[in-house]
Amino acid sequence: MAGSGKTQPNRPKPPTKDTDSPRKPLQVMHISRKEEQGKLQENEEDSLKRNTVDEAPNNFEEVFEAANAPNKPSRSHNKTSSNDFEFGNNPNISMGDLLESEGGEDNGFNSPNFAERSVDDFDFDEEAFLEALNENEPIGSTGEIAKGSVIGIESDGVYVDIGGKAPGFMPKKECGLGVITNLKERFPKGLEVEVLVTREQNADGMVTISCRALALRKSWEKVMQQEKNGEIVEVKINGFNRGGVTCDLEGLRGFIPRSQLDLGQNHESLVGKSLTVAFLEVNPDSRKLILSEKKAALLAQFSKLEIGQVVEGKVLAIKPYGFFIDLGGISGLLHQSMVTNGSIRSLREVFNQGESIKALITELDPNRGRIGLNTALLEGIPGEILVEKEKVLAEAEERAVKAKSLLINKKDENSK
């Protein structure tokens, strides 16, 4: 076979007597999960007890090891500050365990009243805090009125101490109404002045102030109140143009249109003269101050009238809604509903144009120039003026006494 040149494959050897012996059954280890968990829990508790007895770890790495490897024996630690560590992820480590230091040192956090300390325990002084805020608060907001004293005068303006970090500066043109030729005479050092802040402080803490702006503000406030009260004022004419004349009122430039002048045909001759005028328009935003001489005459007549007064006049015109009565330069309206308490088919059944009548004033509106008249209140019975007009008008003053008291009581109730 050796000469054949072919190699024979390795054949397995026959089993020996030992291998032919019967095999032992496999040993199976039974592991109880409940018992294993109990052992793990006991190991963790033992580790925590040892960590509690030993010195607490003082850095992050040691805390991490103690929290995540409870079965590993603890190493010796160097004593460090209690503020150099962070909390681990183990929920069984309490705040007291981590903050406890060797020798029972009190690091401030172990104080039993630490969590209960109030704001007052930290030496907080509210008065000092508010005082510091006031010291750093900017002085002088735009539109604010300030008081101060003159501390310096230059050729282009005046410096005033208003209590800020730097004095306020008032340009020469803002020192007052009109032209001021000598600043030193007008603003001596130490003079107490009241000014209006026109520009807030710059980088140097200086604000721009003005006496002129404050005077103009007060002037507008005054004329607005005069208009509201329906007052009549006197002005001096200082100029004219094609549309009318100009005047000065409380330092403000006023304008009177030619149509509002009694002598509008020759208005140039009014320069230098004084006129009595009333207000037509007062607008500080647009700086419009428009006055009227004719309205002043009207208001002067209104000042002689009052509600409940009996007036006499002539029928000026008859309209579908009532009568216009001329009361001597001013006219009143006798509305159709105020003529009689009876029923009428036509207004001409009662009064004719040009006829003299007497009526009771029931409404006065000087701003709109309105006068409301009434003859129905003079009647004793409804419709009396239709049958006994002469008697009613002749006894108008006596009959108006009772009606006047009713009108006054009604006016008081409406004003409440």
Residue 12 placed within a domain: no
Closest CA to 107 of 65, 58, 63: 58
Residues 340 and 396 in one domain: yes
| Count of positions (residues) in the chain | 416
Decide which of 55 and 400 is more confident: 400
pLDDT of residue 165: 72
Residues 359 and 288 in one domain: no
pLDDT of 50-73, one tens digit each? 554 454 445 545 544 555 554 444
pLDDT of 154-189, one tens digit each? 888 999 988 877 788 999 888 888 778 788 888 999
pLDDT of residue 401: 84
- The residue range of the domain holding 190 is 145-215
Mean pLDDT of the chain: 76
The amino acid present at 194, given as its one-letter code, is E
Termini Cα distance of the chain = 145
pLDDT of residue 73: 47
Residue 274 placed within a domain: yes
**Tokens 């009143």 belong to residue:** 332
pLDDT of residue 324: 95
Angstrom distance (rounded) from CA 296 to CA 327:
16
Residue 240 forms beta bridges with which residues? 245
Residues 182 and 262 in one domain: no
Residues 288 and 311 in one domain: no
Q: How many CA atoms lie within 13 A of 376 on its CB side?
A: 15
Residues 281 and 373 in one domain: no
Decide which of 78 and 408 is more confident: 408
Residues 377 and 357 in one domain: yes
Among residues 265, 282, 298, the one where a domain terminates is: 298
Residue 112 placed within a domain: no
Angstrom distance (rounded) from CA 303 to CA 306:
8
pLDDT of residue 354: 92
Closest CA to 256 of 284, 288, 230, 228: 288
For 209, the 3-state DSSP assignment is strand
DSSP 270: G
Among residues 215, 245, 270, the one where a domain terminates is: 215
Helix H or strand E segment including 192 = strand 192-199
Q: Which of 15-29, 315-329, 370-384, 401-415 comes out lowest in average pLDDT?
A: 15-29
Residue 123 placed within a domain: no
Q: 69 and 43 in contact (C-beta within 8 Å)?
A: no
Closest CA to 110 of 56, 53, 44: 56
Residues 321 and 403 in one domain: yes
pLDDT at 143 over 70: yes
pLDDT of 306-353, one tens digit each? 888 999 999 999 999 999 999 987 889 999 999 999 888 889 989 999
The answer for residues whose C-beta is within 8 angstroms of residue 382's C-beta and 6 or more apart is 340, 341, 342
Binned at pLDDT 50, 70 and 90, residue 274 comes out as very high
pLDDT of 14-50, one tens digit each? 555 444 445 545 444 544 555 656 666 666 666 665 5
Residues 406 and 314 in one domain: yes
Residues 208 and 251 in one domain: no
Angstrom distance (rounded) from CA 367 to CA 23:
130
Residue 126 placed within a domain: no
Residue 110 placed within a domain: no
∠ CA 327-329-331, rounded to 5°: 50
Residues 275 and 315 in one domain: no
- Domains of the chain: total: 4
Task: Please say whether the dihedral angle defined by the alpha carbons of residues 305, 310, 316 and 322, taken in this order, is positive or negative.
Answer: positive
Residue 360 placed within a domain: yes
Pairing status of strand 322-326 against strand 168-171: unpaired
CATH number at residue 351: 2.40.50.140
pLDDT of residue 283: 94
Q: What is the Cα gyration radius of the chain?
A: 53
Q: Tell me the mean pLDDT in the region 242-264.
A: 91
Residues 211 and 234 in one domain: no
Closest CA to 344 of 353, 333, 335, 354: 335
pLDDT of residue 338: 93
Q: Tell me the mean pLDDT in the region 285-311.
A: 90
**Tokens 């009318």 belong to residue:** 244
Angstrom distance (rounded) from CA 27 to CA 350:
137
Residue 373 placed within a domain: yes
Residues 202 and 254 in one domain: no
Closest CA to 339 of 315, 304, 365: 315
pLDDT of 76-134, one tens digit each? 444 444 444 444 455 555 555 555 544 444 555 455 554 555 555 545 566 765 565 45
Decide which of 144 and 390 is more confident: 390
Among residues 215, 240, 263, the one where a domain terminates is: 215
Buried/exposed 342-356: b ≥16 CB within 10 Å, e otherwise: eeeeebeebbeeeee
